[in-house]
Each structure stands twice: as C-alpha cells, then as structure tokens.
C-alpha cells in the first residue's frame, strides 16, 4: 500500500465512524515530515478517542501499524504517526485553535470524494 492509498484508507475509516470535515493534504512537496496529512474532527472527547482507536484498529487489520501516538490521554487532539501519513483527530475547538488547514494551505488538498460520503 503506497502512502496515498494509506491516507485515503484512513480517510475512509474516519468517515465510516462519522468523523467530520475529513481532509487529506499532500505535504510531501513542502515538508519532510510526511507525504500526507489526514485531518478530521470528532464531535466530543469520546468521539475523538474512538476515531483514533478505530483508525489504529482498521489499519492494523491491513498490516499497517502506527509508529507513534501523541495525545491519547487528551480529549481534544490525538496524533497518529504512520511515518508517511500523519493523522490528526481534533475536537472542534482544537481544530479551530490550531488551524492546521490554514497552516498547511500550501499543501495540495486531495480529492477524497471517492472514499468519503461527507466530502
């Protein structure tokens, strides 16, 4: 599975669990951090945690293990590092505060309408 397929699969998983405003941003051309960043919002602290847990569970089933997790004790922001794909799951307030969508606006937003229902 290449990094774009990985990012789209993660977006699909987040969408299946009712993650809000799911985005995939190609950052590989502007950063050495990763190839793609996936951003999603949960509607409560429980939802944020369940989204992150579900991504980890479903990716493990595909043989893709998370390298590092940050913020799992937090109820507002959890980061899952899959080396080539970084996943951020935010509460609505934290997503607005950190505004990664604006911070990474030089990246290319990937069309994921083929894998998500929300768009």
Give me the CATH code for the 3-109 domain, please.
Answer: 3.30.460.10
pLDDT tens per residue, the chain (119 residues)?
899 999 999 999 999 999 999 999 999 999 999 999 999 999 999 999 999 999 999 999 999 999 999 997 778 999 999 999 999 999 999 999 999 999 999 999 999 999 998 54
CA distance linking residue 42 with residue 115, whole number of Å: 18
The set of residues, in sequence order, having a beta carbon less than 8 Å from that of 106 and lying 6+ positions away, is 30
Please, which residues bridge with residue 40 across strands? 89
Helix axes of 45-61 and 3-16: crossing angle, nearest 10 degrees: 130
Domain segments of the chain as ranges: 3-109
DSSP string, 61-92: HTT---SEEE-TT-SSEEEEE-SSEEEEEEEH
């Amino acid at each position: 599975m290449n990094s774009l397929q990985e990012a789209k699969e993660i977006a699909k998983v987040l969408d299946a669990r009712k993650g809000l405003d799911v985005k995939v941003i190609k950052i590989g051309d502007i950063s050495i951090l990763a190839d793609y960043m996936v951003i999603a919002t949960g509607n409560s602290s429980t939802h944020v945690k369940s989204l992150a847990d579900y991504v980890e569970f479903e990716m493990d089933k595909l043989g893709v293990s998370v390298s590092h997790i940050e913020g799992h004790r937090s109820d507002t922001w959890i980061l899952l590092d899959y080396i080539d794909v970084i996943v951020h799951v935010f509460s609505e307030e934290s997503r607005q505060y950190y505004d990664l969508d604006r911070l990474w606006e030089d990246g290319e937003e990937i069309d994921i309408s083929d894998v998500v229902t929300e768009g």
